[in-house]
Structure 1
């Protein structure tokens, strides 16, 4: 087919780097630390089955029909009460989306014209980079540190570039695993409030805390100047594709218009199953089980890193979430390391997709997921990764 039939947009935006890596690691012998996958052993299959049967038997005709764009009102009320009880939020401030990934696309449609400035963390979530790229903004990046965003760089670049949007993952950041401290969040909010920038606080991992350290929410600190995103993918079931966007009513109205043009509404049947599950099951007990299991895996991966990975390689020790981040010394090229490790049947995500341009050397970083592996695989995979690293120093 002639190339000029396609839009410039579709030719400009690359395929998802991680999705392509996952295709290459589907062989059963591969130990994959690459995907951001919840562990399927902890999906509440029986409870979902019971909720599904109950919904179908009681209101089968209704739950299989079209529904409203905003989403099921009781589910939206549940989200408002559980996550935003101290923010003055109601169901009218919430739209159910196809995962928080769709929320990014809808927000971009609402706010972005070609050439608008969008601020991201450095490194930043590659799904946001890909989603926003569709709308041809100019990206501005700000480094993150052990306790959160680099406040000095942030203030300087907000004043210089005046970005429309600042996208961040403040809880158990993807890809590094770090969380913003409460002090960092407060200082960040003070800077944002002096600007016209809207902050997008994406929070898919917030429930996956290992130490139950309370974090003040950016929505609480910034009010209408913050758009908050959430997801049930990490605590319920990712296949349901249920997330949400929480924002000021004026923004919500525009998001609804964009969603009506996109897909009319998020899967209503899935919404009803989820809500029935939430009413009949103990979601907090389920989340606590996930937290315990993921912490065991994080602890064991760090233990194996200390045993098998050279001591000059830096890594994060996250307090929750699904990822840790490695920084390699200059004698190791991460793409070559990926090829060597893959031949040893272990996979990870090289750091390059998490960066815009060449502001830092992405070929010296990588991301590891610890949630979707059992302990024997973690040991064997980190051992193989250590052997691959050792091959650079013989």
Structure 2
């Protein structure tokens, strides 16, 4: 009898959706009211709601209830452009409604702070929440060492500009790497030094020579889910980087922008292996969470705190109180943990699907490595194919990719490669787009 009611409740809800009696984003009847209406246990209603949630027809907001998923107008029409160059999270995975609830609550809690300046270091209550949050990523620290910034980009800008205790001037970066770090360092007038990184990692003999001879202030590295390679360092490599940094008085700036989607519980950050206070940990909430929130986090050791705080004060006085308050509520309520659980599965699914698509294509003319999850795949052309011609031919078909030169110092590189990003694309776009890319490669 209860099973029949469980199915009947689902049918009734779906009928209300089809007949537009339930509007997009509208709150569904409470579990208690439906249990009374259909004369059944609350567990029966919960089961029906969970089934609808798994089919992406409704979603839950903790302590608020269930809501009907809003349908994007883009779902009703074919997308003309397939953009493998854009780096952004999948909009369908962003918790708009849940975070909106948190923002509204933050307005109530912090209304007295919204129109005045706040703590330059960040809301104390948020830093307390982040100390607990970061411990889940094996970053063990305290609120006193956490700094909230206006995006991780601001954090990197300050670190590039401020003097370090080692008195050194140059910044070492991987080649290739995240393109914005080039301009950030160059605008500050510092010298960029590069070290090659590929599927095999980096040459540690070369790293030691650079640490020893090039007056390296800090080494900017993306240890896991590297942008643009998509690769991650092994535990042995991370330990070696920390060991050399200590030996030659070099700091490490660890950009852990995609920590949230890592499915490997044994893949620890470089910060985890740091016993000599050499590693500065930077985390973004833009790529895997909400791009528009513009919140970044930096974990700094005591020798760097005062200098960083001085620069932060002159950058913007304080990061948006409203964004900070919303994030604090989102983290403390458990919503962030639930969001992370969902996106881990979805991005792994996308990368697995890409791998499956590639298995039926002729990839003999390229060299590539497909990670188990992440946003990026780096594709190296083995035979000579003019990358500029490939770009133009793909653009004619509304397919966009990122050429290798974007990720090298001064855009100078002989690397015959390109990056694709699959994070924002639908499965059907990944399938059709990658097919066209390899058709063009083989034709050229």
| Shift, 1:111, TM fit | 2.8
> In 2, are the aligned partners of 1:162 and 1:196 still within 8 Å (CA)?
no
> In 2, are the aligned partners of 1:92 and 1:249 still within 8 Å (CA)?
no
Which of 280, 299, 302 aligns to 1:227? It is 280
Q: TM-score, normalised by structure 2?
A: 0.77
RMSD: 2.4
Structure 2 residue aligned with 1:298:
351
> In 1, are the aligned partners of 2:365 and 2:442 still within 8 Å (CA)?
no
> In 2, are the aligned partners of 1:104 and 1:131 still within 8 Å (CA)?
yes
Q: TM-score, normalised by structure 1?
A: 0.86
Following the alignment from structure 1 to structure 2, what is the Cα–Cα distance between the partners of residues 160 and 309?
45
Bigger relative contact order, structure 1 or 2, given CA contacts below 8 A and separation 6+?
A: 1
| Shift, 1:173, TM fit | 0.6
Structure 2 residue aligned with 1:102:
154
Structure 1 residue aligned with 2:127:
76
- Match status 1:195 vs 2:248: yes
Following the alignment from structure 1 to structure 2, what is the Cα–Cα distance between the partners of residues 347 and 367?
10
Structure 1 residue aligned with 2:213:
160
Which of 256, 262, 268 aligns to 2:309? It is 256
**Structure 1 residues 375 and 88, CA, compared in 2 at 3 Å: closer, same or farther?**
closer
Following the alignment from structure 2 to structure 1, what is the Cα–Cα distance between the partners of residues 257 and 220?
13
Encode CA deviations 1:335-354: one digit per residue, 9 max, x unaligned. Answer: 22111111111111111011
| Shift, 1:255, TM fit | 1.3
Structure 2 residue aligned with 1:8:
none
Encode CA deviations 1:39-64: one digit per residue, 9 max, x unaligned. Answer: 11011112112112222234423344
| Shift, 1:221, TM fit | 1.8
Q: Where does the alignment leave 5 or more consecutive residues of structure 2 unmatched? A: 1-77
| Shift, 1:216, TM fit | 4.6
- Structure 1 counterpart SS, 2:418: strand
> In 2, are the aligned partners of 1:97 and 1:245 still within 8 Å (CA)?
yes
Structure 2 residue aligned with 1:209:
262
**Structure 1 residues 277 and 88, CA, compared in 2 at 3 Å: closer, same or farther?**
closer
Moved more, 223-232 or 164-173: 223-232
> In 2, are the aligned partners of 1:98 and 1:241 still within 8 Å (CA)?
yes
> In 2, are the aligned partners of 1:32 and 1:347 still within 8 Å (CA)?
yes
Which of 22, 32, 37 aligns to 2:88? It is 37
Following the alignment from structure 1 to structure 2, what is the Cα–Cα distance between the partners of residues 252 and 321?
32
- Structure 1 counterpart SS, 2:280: strand
Matches within 5 A, 1:364-383: 364-383=416-435
- Bigger CA radius of gyration: 2
> In 1, are the aligned partners of 2:394 and 2:437 still within 8 Å (CA)?
yes
Which of 332, 343, 367 aligns to 2:385? It is 332
